[in-house]
Chain A
Amino acid sequence: MSLLIFRHVAHRALRMRTPPSLLFNRKQHVSGSVETKLPPEETFQKRFVGRDMSKRRFTKAQVHRGVPTPQTVNIKNIFSEEDVASCASDDSPASDEGIQEEDLEEGPAAVPHLVARSAAMSAFQSKLRQYEADSFEYSAEDWKQFQLEACAENPHLHKSWETLCMQLMYHSGYAKLAASLVSYLSTAADSPPKISTLCLYIALQGEYGGEDKEEIILETFQKVQEMSDVFDAITAKYLISGLATTSQWQKTLDILEMAKLTASPGTAYFSPIIAAAIREGDLEMAFQLLDELASKGFEPQDKVLRHIIHECEKAGSHDLMERFLACVWRYNWPLSPTKAKQVELYYTKLSQEKWSCKWATVNTVRGTCHACRQNLDRIELASSDFEALQREFLERTLVGSNVYLKTNPAELEKFQDFVMEHAPFDVVLDALNIAMRGSGKFGLRRSTQLREIVHYFARERHMKVLVIGRAHMKRWPSADMAYIRRNAKVFFTENISSDDPFLLYATLYSGRDCLFVSGDFMRDHKYNLGPGFKDIFERWQKSRQIVNFVAQADGVSVSMPSQYDCGPVKDEKGWHIPYDDGTSGLRSSSQSVLCLRYKGERAAPRQQRKQTDSDQSGRK
């Protein structure tokens, strides 16, 4: 008996001591033996890396180099010039088109999972990671042996080993090694190189190739053209990023058109072409493509800014830069820290004695820059934009494709009559959001919490208040509800209707000075408005929504919304260029900016600003 128990305990102990890695390997082995194909990298990342892969993480390469995340460390200390250059060269080959694929760009280097199923492949990958680029070479013999090893291990690799290798080399920048693989495939191997391999090779040469890259790319492109006269979205992306670096960059425009047939190309398609157009001086084309990119809701990759800076340095004028910054302002692209650093470098390097650069924050409620103590201009939403928003909102969000999804026609009509009768309001309250705030931790009942806020706006600020809630609120404590009814107009939607669009509609209807109070970011309504209204809605929301409010037993505290829009702003003494370091948002009242001050006697030319103003006509 005791022996039995002992055996049992020993067995358990043994089991517990088994290292998890070993267990994992065993699992892998089992699933490998069943005849299964691997998931594509997208599903892999969802499954294994999952949700904690936040957008702001750095690429593996950057982590490897020891670059900390921007949230924790002040930016000016961490970037040496080299880092920026290397980060820039790293704005890597986006792995896919579309928004969710955009995330992958910053995720772990692509295709690690593919390697896990074959020891030969993973050995190859770790070798690529270990050594510096182009420090070792493979002969045809080596490749042959590698192919045999990999395919013997996993028969599925028979079709894909060469493309996988090329992908790995592409992400690590091994141009010469890739060349040896292509020459092996086209001469010694039993089958010619596949089309995806060649396209990846073109992209690789475009990014990392030496001086003879143009010749190689054009030659390979010739081969690709012989293989197929059409290109799909994937090959098109690689072809574009390679061909755009050559003199025949205009061919990429046709390829882009072809990609549009079966997919909606994103920034990985546009950015190389824009960069090429800037390099070749075809500015019209470049800005036309930038506009098209913006209309799809994307922003350009870092390489575009790199080329702009390069051209500016060559020409010795800021024109191009300012035109680009005007675009940034117009489309509300937050500059990444890397891009902001590039801009800073440009201004300091070009005219060291003329410009002083500071990393600062701007208080968006008061509009002062902490570094130069200068007040920013208060930027208002253009009236035409506001009116368009006012006009379209009802149709696009509340009615949408089916009016019954969010409300019903009778209720909508009733609400419209109500608003028409009582408008304009000074402030509109999202009753349920306010009442549920803090879920009781401020020590007040839900209805009292709402009552305090109503009291604050109606009695202390003497504003005309509208409260929007749902019908079930009628059953709330009558003392509070009676007070609310006395001091504010109240509208209850049906319990199965959504109340947020009613709130937004009432606010918009009351004119551009009306505020609204809600902790909700209204993302789905922004989405329903469509990409054209995204920036306008965001600007309006930022200046009109009170997000931070607390009602406690000892009083109410409300922080007013940001009144100052921080696009790249130019004044007499220089620029304030905002960048996104993860701290600014709807909730924060500060914005990180790069504060550029002109030190020379001559004030920065005012005229150019006017020119850009006229570009943005109708928006100011």
Chain B
Amino acid sequence: MTTLTAVRIRLSNFNLLKQVKCDPSKDLFTKQAVCIRSPAVRSFISQPRLFLDAASSAEFQNLRQCHLCQKRRWSNVTANVPQLDLDLEEEDGSSPRVDATKILQNLSPEDARKLKIIKLEFDVIEQMHGMVPEKMTDENWLVALKMDSKSKRQRYYTFLKRNEMKDNSRRRKQELKQQQRAEKQEENPEEEKESVPKSTLFMTIYSATMHKAGNHRLAHAMQFGQPLIFDMDYEQYMRHQDCQNLVSQLLMTYGKNRDSPDPFHFIFASLSPKGKVFSMLQKAKMTGQHFMGTMTDRSYLDLFPREQLVYLSPHCRETLKEVNANDVYIIGGFNDKSCQKPISLARAKEQGIRTAKFPLDSYLLWGHGSKRLTIDQVLAILLEQRRTKNWEEAFKVIPRRKLNREKC
């Protein structure tokens, strides 16, 4: 009976297959029922069409409201979290985003002179064959103007240059691919029809559909799921480039969470709408209606009782025994490349919150490098440990290069 609903999975949806632990190349066609065992696919198939089509529409938001009355463990707490009402602000025209061009035009004479010097320095670094980006926007100049030493600026330029190079190479590869495709088509135009999917027994799931299914799970998590807090109050300790890296990590984290069968409810606490991290999040389109999570400028202390909170900090002594479904974990939204003080531990100590770190030492033999993990790795460990109750399984996301490979 289940064989009839077997689903043809496109290669881009491999992560789905990972959840059911099968080798996509072998198992896909021999065990037809395999896909249906995946909770993600099952939830996708069983859900009403309405959710799929209207996942981000107003109707869907209404539905979300209706479900709030249901009595589940987390629903009472998270329903009261005030969302930052950002869309309204933008409509009012009082957008918190700063207009760098305007600021640069209305500089005080001293700052204008400083900017002139910095621009000269930029040219000189370029003439000396240093690492500088080809284009500097007004925002970039504003950031450079606020830096007080030459080496800081130079590091910033290097960061910009690296990003520029990455963009360029991606674009070049895309163009190359398009060109090759065009050439191929020119050679034998009959093959063009190949790209149209053949009539098949299996249903094709496109990634947009998968995203909708993911969004559905996220919406469910927002009502009933376990909250996971990101403490966003670290902006003062981070350089501009660290903030940007943080935002890209958060994007990856969000994607990983959406792909998991039982995602967390993301709460971004202490997120100041005037800060640079927020404007970067806005730029990355992680705010507004599409974002299936909560953003608030309140502290997590206002949202949950202290006993429930656990701060995940690498500097503390207590290790986490297992990921407890009744606790609310806090991850510091902090890229500590430039500031390596135990700030998160100090904060937890001050607020009297429990702290915990992953039991890395009891399961892994660490090789080179620091024991710092990125935010998306932390999330993957939490998700996997909660699902399997197995730390070894969970720690598989840690890059192998960091471990001592000879002894492992």
Contacts and interface: CB of A to CB of B under 8 A. Distances in A.
Interface of A: 34-40, 42-43, 96-98, 100-101, 111, 114, 156-157, 159-160, 163-164, 167, 194-197, 228, 230-235, 258, 261-264, 402, 404-405, 408, 495-496
Contacts of B150: 96-98, 232-234, 262-263
Interface string B102-121: 00000000000110111011
B43 interface: no
A98 B118 CA distance: 17
Nearest to B172: A35
B196 interface: no
A160 B124 contact: no
Interface stretch (B276-284, B345-353, B397-405): B345-353
Among B123, B148, B165, B169, max chain A CB count under 10 A is at: B123
13 contacts: A34-B169, A42-B151, A157-B129, A159-B126, A195-B120, A196-B124, A196-B127, A234-B121, A261-B114, A262-B121, A264-B149, A402-B343, A496-B315
Interface size class for chain B?
35 or more
Contacts of B117: 230-232, 258, 261-262
Contacts of A233: 121, 150
Contact of A114 (B129, B149, B165, B169): B129
A408 B349 contact: yes
Contacts of A96: 150-151
B19 interface: no
A402 B346 contact: yes
Given A34-B169, A194-B127, A495-B317, A98 B120 contact: no
A232 to B, nearest CB: 3
A167 B120 CA distance: 18
Interface centre among A164, A408, A496 (most CB of B within 10 A): A496
B131 A404 contact: no
A228 B120 contact: yes
Contacts of B346: 402, 404-405
A43 B131 CA distance: 10
B154 A195 contact: no
A261 B158 contact: no
Contacts of A231: 117, 120
Nearest to B113: A230
A496 B342 CA distance: 10
Q: Pick the most buried of B128, B130, B350: most chain A CB atoms within 10 A of its CB.
A: B128
B339 to A, nearest CB: 11
Contacts of A495: 317
Nearest to A114: B129
B125 interface: yes
Contacts of A38: 129, 131
A196 B127 CA distance: 7
B83 to A, nearest CB: 31
A452 B2 CA distance: 75
Contacts of B349: 404, 408, 496
Interface string B346-375: 110110000000000000000000000000
A150 to B, nearest CB: 12
Contact of A232 (B118, B169, B342): B118
Contacts of A264: 148-149
Contacts of B343: 402, 405
Interface in B332-349: 341-343, 345-347, 349
Contacts of B123: 195-196
Contacts of A258: 117
A187 B116 CA distance: 28
B124 A195 contact: yes
B161 interface: yes
B6 interface: no
B116, B117, B125, B315: most-surrounded residue (chain A CB, <10 A) = B117
Contacts of A98: 149-151
Q: B127, B148, B149, B169 — which one has the most chain A CB atoms within 10 A of its CB?
A: B127
Contacts of B151: 42, 96-98, 100-101
Contacts of A159: 126-127
Nearest to A160: B129
A404 B347 CA distance: 7
B113 A234 contact: no
Contacts of B326: none
Contacts of B342: 405
A163 B123 CA distance: 12
Nearest to A36: B165
A195 B315 CA distance: 49
* Highest count of chain B CB atoms <10 Å: which of A39, A164, A262: A262
B168 interface: yes
Interface in B45-67: none
Interface in B62-90: none
**3 nearest CB pairs, A to B:** A232-B121, A404-B346, A160-B129
A233 B129 CA distance: 16
Contact of B158 (A34, A40, A97): A40
Given A98-B151, A405-B346, A37 B161 contact: yes
Nearest to A161: B129
B316 interface: yes
Contacts of A195: 120, 123-124, 127
B121 A160 contact: no
A462 to B, nearest CB: 37
A38 B113 CA distance: 30
Contact of A496 (B118, B120, B316): B316
Most A-side CB within 10 Å, residue of B124, B343, B347: B124
A114 B129 CA distance: 8
A261 B113 contact: yes
B128 A496 contact: no
Interface string B258-272: 000000000000000
A281 B242 CA distance: 50
A37 B165 CA distance: 9
Nearest to B152: A263
A495 B341 CA distance: 17
B91 to A, nearest CB: 40
B131 to A, nearest CB: 5
Nearest to A97: B150
A163 B128 contact: yes
B158 A43 contact: yes
A399 to B, nearest CB: 12
A259 to B, nearest CB: 9
Contacts of B158: 39-40, 43
Given A101-B151, A234-B125, A262 B131 contact: no
Nearest to A41: B130
Contacts of A408: 349-350
Nearest to B110: A261
B142 to A, nearest CB: 15
A137 B71 CA distance: 89
Interface in B12-39: none
Contacts of B128: 160, 163-164, 167, 196, 234
A562 B161 CA distance: 51
Contacts of A36: 165
Contact of B131 (A37, A101, A111): A37
Nearest to A472: B317
Contacts of A496: 315-317, 345, 349
A496 B168 CA distance: 47
Contacts of A42: 151, 154
A66 to B, nearest CB: 31
Contacts of B154: 40, 42
Contacts of A262: 114, 117-118, 121, 148-150
A96 B121 CA distance: 13
A430 B97 CA distance: 52
B316 A232 contact: no
A195 B347 CA distance: 50
A36 B343 CA distance: 38
B175 to A, nearest CB: 13
A228 B151 CA distance: 22
A38 B165 CA distance: 12
Contacts of B131: 37-40, 43
